[in-house]
């Protein structure tokens, strides 16, 4: 490790070497290293290539603001692209790979893009590839898409596991630096339950190895004491490796926690939902870069990062280091790095004279100081070799160095505070954007609030913690920064490649071009140039870009403004957002009692909400699904079929006001329904459109059983609960979902009655007089099981539905199969069920699409005019009564057609302007031996017999269909009632 210092090991354990590799080359680091610090210690300067021009890139920072050092970790299914080397904790056996290069990092053939830069300026994809137009889809777009992106995502399923958690606290402290630590201790000492979240793997990282005094004592002593107190404090929960990535209304925060190295059983990441009464944002500040020609060369780094690598990790970022600064913090970083053993050769200060703090530090360094000087240019190829300095007298000086540490001021890290839409406000006294408006209950402290020194941050943090306890207002006003320490013009001295956004290769020239082409709003600038849209979200680039735009427009920075920050604040694995809800656990899987029975017979399954239902039951020798479905349909029409309909929602409704509730939610009347009878009903939404349909049976004077569609079972239950809790809280009604408590089977066909009779005890009469259509009665099966028998039909044939407790469902199904063999029984699935209901003209989900009224689907006469119900007034709106609205019709043809096809005049033209409706459901009818369907057609009720065109541009299909009644089979209803 050629660049490891003998001192400056505040956070590493030199007794614990760690082996890792970069681009296949074996290297060694120490416990406590990040990948970035270990690479620097091994003399690695070139770590990647930029997005557009493939220019050499080196490590630039020491935190999440890193724009350059993006690497791939692992391989195979565990390959993780675009990981910031500055935040990756070094673990034994870590494999890291550079990315966005071909064929190798040192020899990247795509760096030829730099020569093409005149054609790749801001917005080039809008301008460069305009001609010839035919080349866009065949050449230009594919080429751009292939070039997009940096790393390669794994092409295999993610083998890691993830989790989610919930946390509640009195006070959430975001940031474990000196201010956050002080705030947490102050609040916890007063009895507050504090949750302290820090993205790093140790507390107080910014103080590690740094010189200075806090509360009159040594900063290192204060840090050690505070860290021990936090670890032992009963009122503080410390969460390291945890980054806050979003804030939502009502003080709800989202954080992502990385697992500790070596814990193979722990989730790779865990997403936390944190609910708190108050929050303190103590996320520090991010150093600003400087603009000059060649400022993107490997070896150009932030001054604070150079000091951090020296003091915390014992690594010198170069053999000859110069600091280019315009503030005192840059001097302090130089002093800390030198104290740790780094070789500092010069300080280049834009300011014309030494500040008081610089005068204290200068004698300690004993180096060349260039006052009133500016870096004009960086020299080098794959790394920095020298810089040219423009002195106060204008004279150019060349300085041989391999590392330039730059400090152009500080930007408070306030992105989280602006996630709810508040924009930062420019503070002229500090020369920074501060978060005056922020989420309710949040206060800012430390560098995030504009404080500059570690001592000031600690005092500020402690005061913030006490203010939470005392419920007093907290003064966040930062101390004014001396004019000499405020940022000067960010504009470079001109010429060459001056980079504003290092990852996306946005240059100063690009900003000027955007200004010249009229993109002068910071939001337009961002999108036109892609400034700040890289993985670092512009943490180091945004201020430079908007400052340049301010100078170009002649406006102040305050008037120019800044862009908004949006969650997530840091990259998160998609798996972490899903947590345990992935694969088979993505959502609950509900199985009917006949599920395994159907699988044993080769039935393919289809999703129906959370349920799996058999689509059809194939027989040996049947070559396609349509053959199986046709057999099942014809069996129902000619003999008897059985179908598992247990998935339909079942809601038990009881109480004195049960009838009133049904009248309120249904468009038709239910309170007058006789005990033992069943009625079909339609629910409307508040806007007057149909919400759901189904049947409700009256089991007693105050007892009803509602049936809903499978898809809307949960939504209807929630709707009823909302009505009772919000709209009618005084009503005496109890409701309960009993869907899973009952297994229910449909028995339909000419032979349905003898099959049901064979199932029931012999003394139970089920003739038309005893059990007419749309009735229900309690029954007992020959097996002794008590159940309910419904007389209703969805198929157009004589139909029954038998409901038994779910634990007896499978035995009842098996009994139906055995008893029905002499009667020609056939189990049928959802495909045959769909054909049967289309033949009978019954509506289902495709027709109840949220845009149809009761009148649209032929249920207008059902709507009561004698009572109030949800959606009544909105359903009376004049546009909803327009006879020209799309109305339900039947469609038939000798040729196939598909649901989704649009209905147009037969003679054309076949354009969107002449669209007259669409086909909602379609199927081949073996009963009628033709293709039939249901559709919504403009003024459809008055167009029976007309021939129109069914145009399907998605499937490239077209044909004529005849408009007919939606009831294809038994329009008189003799089969249902017979």
232-267 residue pLDDT tens:
999 999 999 999 999 999 999 999 999 988 777 889
Q: What is the mean pLDDT of residues 817-835?
A: 97
Q: What is the pLDDT of residue 482?
A: 63
The domain made up of 1-158 is a member of CATH 3.20.20.80: no
* Least confident among 71-75, 664-668, 920-924: 71-75
Residue 169 CA to residue 235 CA, distance in Å, equals: 10
CB of 733 closer than 8 Å to CB of 657: yes
Number of CB atoms found within 10 A of residue 495's CB: 11
Going by their DSSP bridges, the two strands 425-427 and 957-964 should be labelled as: unpaired
Q: Name the percent of the chain lying above pLDDT 70.
A: 97
CB atoms within 10 A of CB 599: 14
Q: Judging by DSSP bridges, how do beta strands 410-412 and 285-287 pair with one another?
A: antiparallel
CA dihedral sign of residues 98, 101, 103, 107:
negative
Residue 188's φ and ψ, nearest 5 degrees, are -65, -35
The CATH class of 160-287+410-482 is alpha beta
Output the CATH code of domain 489-560. Answer: 1.10.10.1100
Q: How many CB atoms lie within 10 A of CB 823?
A: 16
Instruction: Determine the CATH number of domain 649-739.
Output: 3.30.70.1400
Average pLDDT, integer, range 328-356:
94
Start-end of CATH 1.10.10.1100 domains in the chain: 489-560
Question: Residues spanned by CATH 3.50.50.60 within the chain?
Answer: 160-287+410-482, 289-408
547, pLDDT greater than 70: yes
pLDDT grade, residue 479 (50/70/90)?
low
> Residue 815 has what pLDDT?
98
Residue 115's pLDDT band (cuts 50, 70, 90):
low
pLDDT at 493: 54
Residues in the chain: 978
- Please provide the average confidence, as pLDDT, over all residues in the chain: 92
Question: Would the pLDDT of 182 be above 90?
Answer: yes
595 pLDDT more than 90: yes
Per-residue pLDDT, 112: 73
Which pLDDT score is estimated for 488?
57
- 565-590 pLDDT per residue, tens: 889 999 898 899 999 888 888 888 89
Give the pLDDT confidence score for residue 850 in this predicted structure: 92
Per-residue pLDDT band at 734 (split at 50, 70, 90): very high
Res 535: pLDDT = 84
Collapse the DSSP code of 811 into the 3-class scheme (helix H, G, I; strand E, B; otherwise coil) and give the result.
helix
The whole-angstrom distance between residue 722's C-alpha and the CA centroid of its chain comes to 28
pLDDT of 538: 87
* pLDDT given for residue 486 in this prediction: 56
User: Range(s) for CATH 3.30.70.1400 in the chain?
Assistant: 649-739
* 767 has a pLDDT exceeding 90: yes
3-state secondary structure of 414: coil
What Rg do the C-alpha atoms of the chain give, in angstroms?
A: 37
Instruction: Over range 512-523, report the average pLDDT.
Output: 89
Q: Which of 715, 776, 718 is nearest to 742 (CA)?
A: 776
Q: How confident is the model at residue 519 (pLDDT cuts 50, 70, 90)?
A: confident
pLDDT of amino acid 483: 61
Lowest mean pLDDT among 204-213, 262-271, 323-332: 204-213
- Give span(s): CATH 3.10.20.440, the chain: 1-158
655 pLDDT band, cuts 50/70/90, is: very high
CB distance 386 to 379 below 8 Å: yes
Cα–Cα dist 127/909, whole Å: 36
Can you give the pLDDT at residue 348? 96
239's tokens: 């969460």
Tell me the pLDDT tens digit for each residue of 428-468: 888 899 988 888 899 999 999 999 888 999 999 999 999 99
Q: Which CATH entry fits the domain spanning 594-647+741-836: 3.30.1360.120, 3.40.920.10, 3.40.47.10, 3.40.630.30? A: 3.30.1360.120
* Contact between residue 625 and residue 616 where contact means Cβ atoms under 8 Å apart: yes
Q: Alpha carbon 185 to chain centroid distance?
A: 34
Q: What is the DSSP string of 154-178?
A: -SS------EEEEEEEEEEEE--SH
Mean pLDDT of 317-335: 95
For the cut 80, the answer to whether the pLDDT of residue 119 exceeds it is: no
pLDDT greater than 60 at residue 489 = no
Question: Which pLDDT belongs to residue 111?
Answer: 77
Class of domain 289-408: alpha beta
- Any bridge partners for residue 677, and if so which? 775
Q: What is the pLDDT of residues 877-920, one digit of tens each?
A: 999 989 899 999 999 999 999 999 999 999 888 888 999 999 99
pLDDT single digits (tens) 834-885? 999 999 999 999 999 999 999 999 999 999 999 999 999 999 999 998 989 9
In our burial notation (b when 16+ CB lie closer than 10 A, e otherwise), range 717-726 reads bebbeebbee
pLDDT of residue 438: 84
Outline which parts of the chain fall under CATH 3.30.1360.120: 594-647+741-836
């Amino acid at each position: 490790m050629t660049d490891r210092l003998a001192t400056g090991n505040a956070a590493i354990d030199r007794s614990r070497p760690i082996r890792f590799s970069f681009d296949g080359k074996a290297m060694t680091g120490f416990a406590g290293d990040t990948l970035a610090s270990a690479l620097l210690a091994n003399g690695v300067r070139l770590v990647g290539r930029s997005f557009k021009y493939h220019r050499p890139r080196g490590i630039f920072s020491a935190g999440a603001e890193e724009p350059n050092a993006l690497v791939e970790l692992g391989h195979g299914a565990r390959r993780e692209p675009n990981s910031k080397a500055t935040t990756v904790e070094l673990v034994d056996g870590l494999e890291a790979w550079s990315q966005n290069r071909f064929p190798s990092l040192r020899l990247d053939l795509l760096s030829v893009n730099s020569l093409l830069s005149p054609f790749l300026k801001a917005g080039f994809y809008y301008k460069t590839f305009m001609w010839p137009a035919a080349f866009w889809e065949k050449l230009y777009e594919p080429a751009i898409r292939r070039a997009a992106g940096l790393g390669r995502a794994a092409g295999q399923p993610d083998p890691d596991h993830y989790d989610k958690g919930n946390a509640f606290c009195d006070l959430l402290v975001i940031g474990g630096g000196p201010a956050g630590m002080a705030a947490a201790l102050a609040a916890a000492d007063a009895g507050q339950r504090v949750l302290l979240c820090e993205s790093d793997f140790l507390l107080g990282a910014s103080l590690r190895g740094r010189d200075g005094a806090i509360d009159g004592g040594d900063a290192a002593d204060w840090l050690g004491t505070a860290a021990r107190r936090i670890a032992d404090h009963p009122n503080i929960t410390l969460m390291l490796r945890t980054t806050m990535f979003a804030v939502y209304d009502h003080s709800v925060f989202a954080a992502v926690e990385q697992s500790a190295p070596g814990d193979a059983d722990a989730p790779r990441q865990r997403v936390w939902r944190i609910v708190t009464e108050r929050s303190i944002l103590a996320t520090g500040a991010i150093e600003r870069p400087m603009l000059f020609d060649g400022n993107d060369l490997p070896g150009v780094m932030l001054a604070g990062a150079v000091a951090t690598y020296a003091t915390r990790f014992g690594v010198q970022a170069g053999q000859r280091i110069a600091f280019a600064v315009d503030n005192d913090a840059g001097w302090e970083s130089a002093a800390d790095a030198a104290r740790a053993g780094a070789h500092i050769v010069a300080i280049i200060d834009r300011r014309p004279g030494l500040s008081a703090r610089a005068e204290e530090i200068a004698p300690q360094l004993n180096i060349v100081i260039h006052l009133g000087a500016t870096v004009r240019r960086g020299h080098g190829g794959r790394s920095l070799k020298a810089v040219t300095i423009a002195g106060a007298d204008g004279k150019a000086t060349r300085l041989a160095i391999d590392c330039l540490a730059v400090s152009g001021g500080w930007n408070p890290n306030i992105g989280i505070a602006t996630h709810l839409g508040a924009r930062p406000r420019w503070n002229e006294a500090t020369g920074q954007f501060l978060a005056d408006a922020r989420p309710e209950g949040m206060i800012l402290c430390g560098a995030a609030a504009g404080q500059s020194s570690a001592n000031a941050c600690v005092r500020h943090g402690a005061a913030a913690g006490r203010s939470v306890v005392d419920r007093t207002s907290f003064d966040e006003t930062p101390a004014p920064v001396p004019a000499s320490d405020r940022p000067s013009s960010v504009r470079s001295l001109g010429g060459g490649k001056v980079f504003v956004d290092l990852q996306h290769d946005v240059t100063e020239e690009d900003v000027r071009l955007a200004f010249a082409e009229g993109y002068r709003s910071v939001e337009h600038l961002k999108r036109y140039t892609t400034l700040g849209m890289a993985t670092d979200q512009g943490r180091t680039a945004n201020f430079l870009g908007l400052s340049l735009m301010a100078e170009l427009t002649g406006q102040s920075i305050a008037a120019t403004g800044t862009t908004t920050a949006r969650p997530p604040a840091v990259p998160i694995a998609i798996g972490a957002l899903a947590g345990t809800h992935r694969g088979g656990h993505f959502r609950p899987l509900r199985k009917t009692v006949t599920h395994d029975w159907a699988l044993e017979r080769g039935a393919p399954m289809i999703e129906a909400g959370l349920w799996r239902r058999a689509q059809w039951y194939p027989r040996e020798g049947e070559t396609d699904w349509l053959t199986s479905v046709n057999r099942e349909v014809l069996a129902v029409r000619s003999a008897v079929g059985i179908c598992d309909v247990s998935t339909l929602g079942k809601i038990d409704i009881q109480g004195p006001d049960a009838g009133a509730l049904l009248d309120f939610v249904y468009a038709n009347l239910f309170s007058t329904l006789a005990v033992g009878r069943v009625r079909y009903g339609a629910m409307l939404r508040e806007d007057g459109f149909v919400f759901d349909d189904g049947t409700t049976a009256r089991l007693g004077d105050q007892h009803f059983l509602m049936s809903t569609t499978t898809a809307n079972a949960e939504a209807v239950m929630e709707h009823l609960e909302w009505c009772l809790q919000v709209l009618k809280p005084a009503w005496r009604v109890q409701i309960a979902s009993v869907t899973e408590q009952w297994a229910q089977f449909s028995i339909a066909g000419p032979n349905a009655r003898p099959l049901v009779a064979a199932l029931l005890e012999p003394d139970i009469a089920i003739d038309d007089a005893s059990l007419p259509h749309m009735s229900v009665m309690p029954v007992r099966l020959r097996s002794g099981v008590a159940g309910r028998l419904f007389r209703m039909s969805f198929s157009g044939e004589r139909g029954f539905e038998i409901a038994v407790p779910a634990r007896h469902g499978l035995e009842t199904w098996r009994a139906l199969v055995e008893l029905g063999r002499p009667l020609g029984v056939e189990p049928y699935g959802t495909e045959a069920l769909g054909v049967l209901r289309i033949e009978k003209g019954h509506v289902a989900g495709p027709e109840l699409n949220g845009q149809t009224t009761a009148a649209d689907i032929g249920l207008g006469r059902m709507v009561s005019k004698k009572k109030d119900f949800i959606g009544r007034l909105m359903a009376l709106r004049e546009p909803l009564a327009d006879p020209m609205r799309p109305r339900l019709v039947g469609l038939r043809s000798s040729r196939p057609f598909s649901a989704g096809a649009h209905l147009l005049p037969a003679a054309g033209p076949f354009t969107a302007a002449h669209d007259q409706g669409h086909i909602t459901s379609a199927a081949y009818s073996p009963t009628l031996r033709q293709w039939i369907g249901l559709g919504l057609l403009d003024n459809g009720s008055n167009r029976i017999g007309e021939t129109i065109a069914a145009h399907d541009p998605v499937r490239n299909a077209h044909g004529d269909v005849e408009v007919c009644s939606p009831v294809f089979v038994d329009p008189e209803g003799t089969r249902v009632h017979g």
